[in-house]
Amino acid sequence: MKESKKYNSLSDLSSLNVVYSTDPEYDYGEEIEETETLPAAQQLLYISLDKKQRGGKKVTLVENFIGTDGDFTALGKMLKTKCGVGGTAKDGIILIQGDFRDKIADILTKEGYKIKQKG
C-alpha cells in the first residue's frame, strides 16, 4: 500500500517548484505517492567515502535506500548516533562526518541490510 501526500496550501507546493497559477483548472499534482520501505534484507545500500568540495574533510556516504522519508531519516539518525558524529540525511543520501565505512558496514549488516562498498 502506498502513502499519498495531499497539498493544502501554496507553501506545500514549493517542492513542486510551482509558485502560483491563475488557471483554476491547473493540476498541481495533488497526490504524490511515496514508496513503501522495503525490508532490510531486500535492500542493497552503497557505502563510499567522499572528500570532494568539502574542504578536504572526509564524509561517509550511504546511498540507495528505498523507503519513506521517515524511515530514511531514522536510519540516518541511528547511524550518526552509533558512530558518535554528526551528519545529515537528505536528497536520498546519508552523510556521516568522517571515515566510518567499516563501522557503518558492520552496523548495517547487523541490521540485516545488504551492503556494497564503492569507490
Query: pLDDT tens digit string along 60-92?
Result: 999 999 999 999 999 999 999 999 999 999 999
Instruction: Considering only residues 24 and 21, tell me which one the structure prediction assigns the higher pLDDT.
Output: 24
Range(s) within the chain of domains with CATH label 3.30.780.10: 40-117
Q: Give dist(CA 65, CA 40) in Å, integer.
A: 9
Per-residue pLDDT band at 25 (split at 50, 70, 90): confident
Please state the three-class secondary structure of the chain as a single string. CCEEEECCCCHHHHHHCCCCCCCCCCCCCCEEEECCCCCHHHCEEEEEEECCCCCCCCEEEEECCCCCHHHHHHHHHHHHHHHCCCEEEECCEEEEECCCHHHHHHHHHHCCCEEEECC
Query: pLDDT tens digit string along 84-119?
Result: 999 999 999 999 999 999 999 999 999 999 999 997
Q: Please tell me the predicted confidence (pLDDT) of residue 34.
A: 64
Instruction: Considering only residues 52 and 14, tell me which one the structure prediction assigns the higher pLDDT.
Output: 52
Fold of 40-117: Translation Initiation Factor Eif1 (3.30.780)
